[in-house]
Structure 1
Amino acid sequence: MSHLQSFLDLVADWKRGDLDAVAARLSPDVVWHFSATTKPPAIGREESIAFLKAYGQVSSNSRLRLFTHAETEDRLFYEAAEDFDGPDGQRVLVPYAGIVDFAPDGLITGWRDYFDRALIDGQVAGTAKLPDYASDLINRPSMD
């Protein structure tokens, strides 16, 4: 199975709310930089799932869209748009890129997400929106 397919399967598990299935795709000692430059990483499955539970409180109806990707033997690089509804129903849109590391057994050992955290937080709070000049980054055909 390709790294891309493994990642898409994890996203599908998340969208279904199946956190046990998500956890089964993570190495016990996974390091997930869910906001690589603004927050400390989640270390291990338990912290990663705790992050997803908290994230689920501020996001619903995920419409994650992947635009492009590249794979190496043990790594997936992707460019995407995070697109979800905030707790008050407002739409949150932000371009982002991610890198996912895989062990030989297919488990995810590392994950780094890169995006504008202030833009997401501002959209969730209702005080910001995606700048017009960035719309081309998210309004293009996705892989799905």
Structure 2
Amino acid sequence: MPRLYPVLEAIIAAWKRQDVEGVLACVTDDIVWRNSSGYAPAIRGKAAMRTALHNMKVAIAPGSNTWRIFDYAESDDRLFMEGVDEFTLTTGQHVAIPYAGSLEFRGLLVSEWREYFDGRISADMKAGKPMTPEVREMISRPVAK
């Protein structure tokens, strides 16, 4: 029986509703969020994460988020995941970013969140380029249960 995965499910459910406070309820006050795959500094602290999420929220069309997880594994206080962030920007571009990530927990709250993805895919799709056949194949998988 997974212990940590339900926390990620709660985060995903909150973010699909664009519920920033619902996401923040699942993280520690001193969260370290490495959401840029290393090309920008980590977001540190719940207040900074709130600002980042609000900025993301206004850029994503309401109801368009279909973030999903394909595989995950738990080990002690870590959850490893593979999935896709998929949404439509308010400017109309459809974006699908395959990624892998790791969540470190303190109790049942996320204390560090690391994401790994190809920033070129993100930039291309945000610029309006179509989804490549390779990305389509990568994200056309059953979701984790």
Q: TM-score, normalised by structure 1?
A: 0.90
Look up the match of 2:98. Answer: 95
Q: Which residue of 2 aligns with 1:116?
A: 118
Offset at 1:118?
Answer: 2.3
Count of residues in correspondence between the two structures:
142
* C-alpha displacement of 1:63: 0.3
Task: Report the identity percentage.
Answer: 30
Instruction: Return structure 1 stretches of 4+ with deviation > 6 angstroms.
Output: none
Residue 31 of structure 1 and its aligned partner are, at CA, apart by 0.3
Is 1:94–1:130's contact at 8 Å kept on the other side of the alignment? no
Whether contact under 8 Å (1:119, 1:129) holds in the other structure is no
Superposed displacement of residue 49, structure 1 = 1.2
Q: 1:115 is aligned with what amino acid?
A: F
CA distance, structure 1, for counterparts of residue 94 and residue 135 of structure 2: 15
Determine if the alignment matches structure 1 residue 54 to structure 2 residue 43: no
Specify whether residues 134 and 17 from structure 1 end up closer, same or farther in structure 2 by C-alpha distance, changes over 3 A only.
closer
8 Å Cα contact 1:33/1:113 also seen in 2: yes
Show the counterpart of 2:32: 31
Q: Output the CA distance in 2 between the equivalents of 1:85 and 1:115.
A: 18
Partner deviation per Cα, 1:59-93 (whole Å, 9 max, x = no partner): 23110121000001101100001110012222111
- Structure 2: gaps spanning 5 or more residues: none
> Aligned Cα RMSD in Å?
1.5
